[in-house]
Amino acid sequence: MTRHIPGTRSLQVLEAAGRHLNFTRAAVELNLTPAAVSHQIKEFELQLGVTLFVRKGRSLQLTPGGDILHEAASDALAALRHAAARARRSQGQTKVRLNVNASTSIAAKWLVPRLDQFLKKEPHADVRLNVSCGMQDFDRNEIDVAIQFGPGTYPGLSTERLFNHVIYPVCSPRLLQGEHPLTAPEDLLRHTLIQQSWSGQGVVWPDWHMWMLAAGIEGFEPKPGLHYTDTHLAIQAAIDGHGIALGDEALVADDLAAGRLVRPFALSIGGPPTFAYFVIFPPGMMQNPLAASFIHWLHTEAQTDGGA
């Protein structure tokens, strides 16, 4: 007799429960109660005649059969998401929604202030912007285009370099009028230097030590003060007059043009050579006219601001 094949909801419950090995955490993710998850797993076991989980002490484990079915459920759901995303993209001639993912700093200091210009160019576009610092699953989250800082190596995705990094001190114009004028790099030592700390994937973001060495100042030791991991927060602190920050040219361009920031010294240093802001999108996305227009617009805007 042919057994009943569980539906998509059952597959989602099995996938989440098998991934978390915890019914409560799976329930939170799926917006269900733990009892509902437990009931769904029991129904799944009855339908297929396979025991999926065993309890050992306080933890759950997949049985050998449960492990096989969990892998199959995961693959099936991934295939459905991928197929659904491809089907939506195949309708690119009529699609007006564009789902964009961007890391925090580039979204706050560069993309958001310019999006109204893109909407003037594409008045029928419905742009949905999600902000996150890590790479997202394009199919699972239905992302069309992403802008991320990283090494540009994303298997299965197309990448185009958007910006090179040019980094130099920036501060509020009010600091130039204070009791400690900024006429030489050594004058920075009399001011609060806003620290930005970031490292990952084997690279370290340039800091004041690096800039001071480039300026010929050795033995620099930063004083206790403000530390940020996000560039846009360091820039905002400089705008507010809390000190002097190292700004990335692409991210401070608007604030310099508006007079919210000034650049006291011409000396600049580069960022990690293999890291940059990249435009990332699935293969075939350029067949979607709206996505292609957006990607072309990003490069045009980046060139205006000295992009790659």
Q: Does 94 have pLDDT greater than 50? A: no
Please tell me the predicted confidence (pLDDT) of residue 199: 61
Longest dimension (CA), the chain: 89
Please tell me the predicted confidence (pLDDT) of residue 2: 40
Q: What is the mean pLDDT of the chain?
A: 85
Q: What is the DSSP string of 172-221?
A: -HHHHTSSS--SSGGGGGGSPBPEE--EETTEE---HHHHHHHTT--S--
What type of residue sits at position 267?
Answer: L
Contacts of 132 (CB under 8 A, 6+ apart): 101, 103, 104
Q: For residue 285, give the DSSP letter.
A: G
Q: Does 303 have pLDDT greater than 90? A: no
Contacts of 70 (CB under 8 A, 6+ apart): 14, 15, 18, 19, 52, 62
**Considering only CA atoms, which of 279, 265, 241 is closest in space to residue 167?**
265
Q: Which residue has the higher pLDDT, 83 or 292?
A: 292
The pTM of the full predicted model, rounded to 2 decimals, is 0.66
- Please state the length of the chain: 308
Please tell me the predicted confidence (pLDDT) of residue 120: 92
What gap in Å lies between CA 248 and CA 16, rounded to an integer? 40
